[in-house]
Amino acid sequence: MNNEVQANKQQVQAERAILLDSILARAAEQLGDLHDPVMQHYYRRFPEALAMFEEQGLGHRQKLEAEMIASVLYCIMTWIERPVEVAIVLGTTVPHHGVALHIPIACFAGFTDVVVEEIAATIPEGAHAEAALLAEIRDSLQRETADAASHYQLS
C-alpha cells in the first residue's frame, strides 16, 4: 500500500474513532450508568436469562452483569482500531459461554444487541453518520458471534 493510501486509511479510521467517542460520551451523559437500563431491557427481552445470571453470578449477579456490559463495551470501543483483537475475543468467549456455561447463543447475541440499542437510543434523529457507524459495529460483532457459534455448532 503506498503512503498516500495508507495515510488516507488512517485518517478515515481516526474520524470513525472520534465519531464513536462522541456517541459514547453522549450516551454516558444521558444515561449515566448503563447498568440499569441495559439489564431491565435485557430481562424484558430474555426473562429466562435472569436465572442464568443469578446462578452463574454465585451470589454476585450484579457484578457479573456489570462485567459482561464492560466486555461488550470493550468490543464496541476496540472494533474500529483493532477488529482482529475483537474477533479473537469473540472467537474464544462464544464457545466458552456456549459449551462451558450453557448459555444459548440467542441470549449471548441478544445481550450485545441490547447494549448497542441502549446506546443507539441516545443518538439524535438526523445524526445519520453516527447511527450508521453504530449499526455497522453491531453487525460486525453479531457476524463474529455467529461465525464462532457456527464453527462450534452452537445454538
Residues that bind ligand HEM (CB under 6 A): 49, 52-53, 56, 64, 68, 71-72, 75, 89, 93, 96-97, 101, 103, 107-108, 111-112
Q: Which H helix or E strand runs over 135?
A: helix 128-151
Q: Say if residue 108 is exposed, middle or buried (CB neighbours under 10 Å; 0-12, 13-18, 19+).
A: buried
What would the DSSP string read from start to end of 62-121? HHHHHHHHHHHHHHHHHHTT-HHHHHHHHHHHHHIIIIIS---HHHHHHHHHHHHHHHHT
In Å, what is the CA distance from 85 to each residue of 76, 81, 89? 11, 9, 6
Q: Find the shortest distance in angstroms from Cβ 99 to ligand HEM.
A: 11
Q: Find the shortest distance in angstroms from Cβ 92 to ligand HEM.
A: 6
In the complex with ligand HEM, the residue whose CB is nearer, 87 or 123, is: 87
In the complex with ligand HEM, the residue whose CB is nearer, 18 or 88, is: 88
Q: How far apart are CA 154 and CA 109, in angstroms?
A: 12
In the complex with ligand HEM, the residue whose CB is nearer, 9 or 96, is: 96
In the complex with ligand HEM, the residue whose CB is nearer, 130 or 144, is: 144
Q: Find the shortest distance in angstroms from Cβ 3 to ligand HEM.
A: 36
Q: Find the shortest distance in angstroms from Cβ 80 to ligand HEM.
A: 16
